[in-house]
């Protein structure tokens, strides 16, 4: 179990947040509701979705490497 207050927990949370926002950007109803704001607090969701869609290869490699780290090294 990963602790949120450790560095691995923060990294896992960030990866999952970016991947979830990128997935929600593909759903039309949620895209217009959740990702319509580009500034402020709700803009964090939009920015995470943009990072997830533009850097999808890097995010996939990061997810895979973090999963292997958590399974085999931790």
Q: Is the pLDDT of residue 1 over 80?
A: no
The whole-number pLDDT of residue 28 equals: 86
pLDDT value for 34: 78
pLDDT of residue 22: 92
Q: What is the pTM of this model?
A: 0.82
CB neighbours of 46 closer than 8 A, spacing ≥ 6? Answer: 21, 35, 36, 37, 38
Q: For the segment 16-73, what is each residue's pLDDT rounded down to a tens digit?
A: 999 999 998 888 887 888 778 888 888 899 899 999 999 999 999 999 999 999 899 8
pLDDT at position 42, please?
85
């Amino acid at each position: 179990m990963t602790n949120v207050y450790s560095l691995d927990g923060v990294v896992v949370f960030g990866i999952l947040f970016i991947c979830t926002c990128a997935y929600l950007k593909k759903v039309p109803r949620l895209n217009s509701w959740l990702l319509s704001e580009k500034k402020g607090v709700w803009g964090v969701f939009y920015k995470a979705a943009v990072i997830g869609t533009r850097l999808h290869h890097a995010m996939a490699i990061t997810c895979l490497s973090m999963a292997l780290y958590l399974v085999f090294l931790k």
